[in-house]
Chains A and B, each alone.
Chain A
Amino acid sequence: MKRRLVSLLAIATMTATMFAACGSSDTAATDTAAPADDTATVEAPAEETAELPEDTGKVLNIQCWNDEFQSRLKSHYPGYEEVDATHGKIGDVDVVWTITPSTDNAYQNNLDEALLAQESAAADDKVDLFLVEADYALKYVDTDYAMALSDLGITDADLADQYTYTQSIVTDSNGKLKGSSWQACSAGLIYNREAAKEVLGTDDPDEVQAAVANWDKYNETAAKVAEAGYTMCSANDTFRVYSNNVSGKWVQDGKVVIDKNIEKWIDDSKALVDSKAEDTDDLWGDDWAKGKNPEGKVFCYFGPAWFFNFCLNADDDASIASKGGWGYCVGPQSYYWGGTWICAATGTDNANLVKDIILTMTTDKAVLKDIATQDQDCVNSKSVLADLAGSDDGNIALLGGQNPYKQLADGAEKVDLSNISAYDQGCNEEIQKAAKNYFQGNATKDEALDMFKKAIVEKYPELTAD
């Protein structure tokens, strides 16, 4: 029994290790390799905001789920010195990182506890900054635990160059902006150039785009791909494309609603899985990752810019990425995936520093351009992206020298997030799990949907499903 308890504790660590390659957690490897020079000088914001009290905190507590933001801060924030893996220094303020992997909801659970205890916590223990992902941003943004950026003295003018969608995600129900991101995660279709030549006779991004320009064409191409002995991708890869283009929220008036487009995803995917054009591998698993090497015979992945750098194993000599064998096009529909937003926690005793970090990391064009060129990220600045799209700085080796920034920027303009809800993470996760049963023939579509509803009500007892 006791051993069981111990193993329970170990589960988080175990799975975290397994999924270490996923999401955006491999940044350290690439980033530490890059020299952490801070040649780009950053001028401190000139305008003074009288309302902010002077910083009294000696400790800056940051809550996050991987080392992505840490490495960004290390390489691009002036004055940040690394002490060890979870500690740093900015001037005489100690930076303490609390990194909890997001697997099994551990990050959110941990953050919940910290925020709920925020008022009673000692000054040095108060959370100052925390990071959120799009799927659950509203859960935090729509509470008083996150500070409005206007209260920090950050003005709309400061954020004017950002993409609208990156702001609407973190706008609460009173219209207050509560977070800011350096990333614009508009996403597209990343295809295997070899496979494209073999199946479509070309690896030119425009021509491949024409072959997958809408779902009908995508399905036609998938059939050809399957005939040539490849699989298109996993059904879970296309999920985000459909789910970002729904006509309503997951939860309406306390009731879970399955959108037509989600049903379309289930129907389309079932047909493709049955014809062996797609498989049902879970994202981030070994089976799913096999396509990163040529012998995996996978035609494409669906992903945003952070996918290039973190997820395609470019540092592995056997991978397609190391030979520059990928190409990028927009795919059937515009969508976005992921993204990291920085929020200031209410009760922070380092308000000025927090403000400066947010401004520097998410609005300073020199810093943003640095991030884009060093880490192949798609940054949250229209002018920087326009600049990159027009110059060789935007060419990416693992895409065979292709410059994807024009498409990424166009995609970011088109992202519409009016249908996001605080329940998205749970709903997205559960619908994929339930649909897999249908894809694999273990249940009918209705049984799978019932399973989904059951899981949602378990997860969110306040919702109804029928």
Chain B
Amino acid sequence: MNKKSKVVSYNKWGYIFLIPFVVIFLIFQMIPLVSTIYNSFFENYRSGLTQIGPNFIGLQNYATIITNGDLPTYFVNTMIMWIMGFIPQIVLSLLLGAWFTDPSLRLKCQTFFKTVIYLPNLIMASAFAMLFFTLFSDSGPINSMLIQMGVFKEAYKFMGNEWSVRTLIATMNCLMWFGNTTILLMAGMLGIDPSLFEAAQVDGATSTQIFYRITLPLLKPILIFVMITSLIGGLQMFDVPQILTNGTGDPMRSSMTLIMYLNKHLFSKNYGLAGALSVFLFVITGILSLIVFKFTNSEKVK
């Protein structure tokens, strides 16, 4: 009956070491998540200095968001701007990553370049957006240059055209994040066994073949990670378009993102509607991440 196992169990240490994470997760992630969902069932906002609610209204906030039909528009805006920024970003990063990790190129001043490409990420997005706002304003330097070069007769209103605004935002996102992506991809590429490259070279593979047949397939886990983090980051796009368009998402809200829309509700401290919107965002993010994960994982071996 009283047989005690002589094997010392170290399992409890595992749990003890997990405590800090669990506590932080509960306080900073779980509780906000649950309270957001809880809040979404209430009518709860401020009108001037008068607090309205909280009154329990069930799923009405969700109904409001679905029926006013704005969510798909802003979702599409967000995805368009994310894709416009992500494609050049991943191409650029793959190229740079391949160059930096290729020992046969013997690139000089590698550290310098690695630092330089990371620098835009250190600038605050708001400052970056301000800079672009000033550069591309009607009487800004870009317009003066283009007029002097004879490209335009009069100032082009960059902020007054749907696609120019979207392009500016995508460009900024690309510039800000390609350094970060490059570093991630480089880490992935350096993790590939060099003997594979050597073997391929001995077998007479061209560098293009090596890149497509060896580097890319073995890089897949990192690529998936980059895709998913960038997608989540993209869905949360806020500061760049917010500052560039002064919070309007103009023209005609064509560059308004989901989080900018969420921010509109925070003006009147509308916690109910904002909560419901956040739950939608949570679901959308989850679904998209799953799709990306499944999609990139499906063709494992053909």
Q: How far is the CB of B285 from chain A (nearest CB, A)?
A: 13
Q: How far is the CB of A425 from chain B (nearest CB, A)?
A: 11
Select one of B49, B52, B140 contacting A116, CB under 8 A: B49
Select one of A105, A279, A437, A454 contacting B267, CB under 8 A: A105
Which residues of A does B touch, CB under 8 Å? 1, 3-4, 6-8, 10-11, 14-15, 18, 104-105, 112, 115-116, 139-140, 142-143, 145, 279-282, 285-287, 290, 422, 433, 436-437, 440, 442-443, 447-448, 451, 454-455, 458-462
Residues of B within 8 A of A442 (CB): 160-162, 250-252
Which residues of B (224-265) have their CB < 8 Å from a CB of A? 233, 236, 238-239, 242-243, 246-248, 250-253, 264-265
Is B20 in the interface zone, CB < 8 Å from A?
no
The 8 A-B residue pairs with the shortest CB-CB distance in the complex, in nearest-first order: A442-B251, A440-B160, A139-B48, A7-B124, A287-B138, A458-B264, A7-B126, A7-B125
> CA A112 – CA B126 in complex, angstroms?
26
Per-position 1/0 for B174-209, Cβ under 8 A of A: 000000000000000000000000000000000000
Least CB separation from A111: chain B residue: B49
Is B139 in the interface zone, CB < 8 Å from A?
yes
Which residues of B does A touch, CB under 8 Å? 45-50, 52, 68, 70, 124-127, 130, 134, 137-140, 157, 160-162, 233, 236, 238-239, 242-243, 246-248, 250-253, 264-265, 267-268, 270, 273
8 examples of A-B residue contacts, CB within 8 angstroms: A4-B125, A4-B238, A10-B124, A11-B243, A140-B49, A287-B138, A442-B161, A443-B251
> CA A105 – CA B263 in complex, angstroms?
12
B139 in contact with A436 (CB, 8 Å): no
Select one of A4, A115, A460 contacting B49, CB under 8 A: A115
> CA A196 – CA B162 in complex, angstroms?
37
A461 in contact with B124 (CB, 8 Å): no
A287 in contact with B49 (CB, 8 Å): no
Q: How far is the CB of B176 from chain A (nearest CB, A)?
A: 10
A462 in contact with B47 (CB, 8 Å): yes
B125 in contact with A437 (CB, 8 Å): no
Q: A15-B243, A458-B268 are in contact. List 16 more A-B contacts (CB 8 A).
A: A7-B124, A8-B239, A10-B124, A10-B126, A104-B247, A105-B267, A143-B49, A279-B138, A287-B138, A436-B250, A437-B252, A443-B251, A448-B252, A455-B264, A460-B268, A461-B47
Residues of A within 8 A of B70 (CB): 454
Least CB separation from A457: chain B residue: B68
In the complex, how many residue pairs between chain A and chain B have their CB atoms under 8 Å apart?
Answer: 103
> CA A35 – CA B273 in complex, angstroms?
53
Residues of A within 8 A of B124 (CB): 3, 6-7, 10, 14
Q: How far is the CB of B276 from chain A (nearest CB, A)?
A: 12
Chain A CB within 10 A, most for which of B50, B138, B265: B138
A143 in contact with B48 (CB, 8 Å): yes
Least CB separation from B47: chain A residue: A462
Are A287 and B162 CB-contacts (below 8 A) given A7-B125, A139-B48, A443-B251? no
Least CB separation from A296: chain B residue: B139
Least CB separation from A441: chain B residue: B160
B47 in contact with A460 (CB, 8 Å): yes
Residues of B within 8 A of A433 (CB): 248, 250
Q: How far is the CB of A182 from chain B (nearest CB, A)?
A: 25
Residues of B within 8 A of A116 (CB): 49
> CA A280 – CA B248 in complex, angstroms?
15
Residues of A within 8 A of B236 (CB): 1, 4
> CA A3 – CA B249 in complex, angstroms?
22
> CA A174 – CA B199 in complex, angstroms?
89
B49 in contact with A14 (CB, 8 Å): no
B264 in contact with A10 (CB, 8 Å): no
A286 in contact with B251 (CB, 8 Å): no
Residues of A within 8 A of B268 (CB): 458-461
Least CB separation from A289: chain B residue: B139
> CA A437 – CA B247 in complex, angstroms?
14
Q: How far is the CB of B231 from chain A (nearest CB, A)?
A: 13
> CA A140 – CA B48 in complex, angstroms?
8
Q: How far is the CB of B12 from chain A (nearest CB, A)?
A: 33
A461 in contact with B45 (CB, 8 Å): yes
Select one of B138, B160, B239, B273 contacting A7, CB under 8 A: B239
Residues of A within 8 A of B251 (CB): 437, 440, 442-443
Chain B CB within 10 A, most for which of A7, A282, A440: A7
A11 in contact with B246 (CB, 8 Å): no
Least CB separation from B243: chain A residue: A11
> CA A112 – CA B267 in complex, angstroms?
12
A287 in contact with B137 (CB, 8 Å): yes
> CA A422 – CA B138 in complex, angstroms?
34
Residues of B within 8 A of A7 (CB): 124-127, 239
> CA A131 – CA B100 in complex, angstroms?
59
B130 in contact with A285 (CB, 8 Å): no
Residues of A within 8 A of B250 (CB): 433, 436-437, 442
Residues of B within 8 A of A443 (CB): 251-252
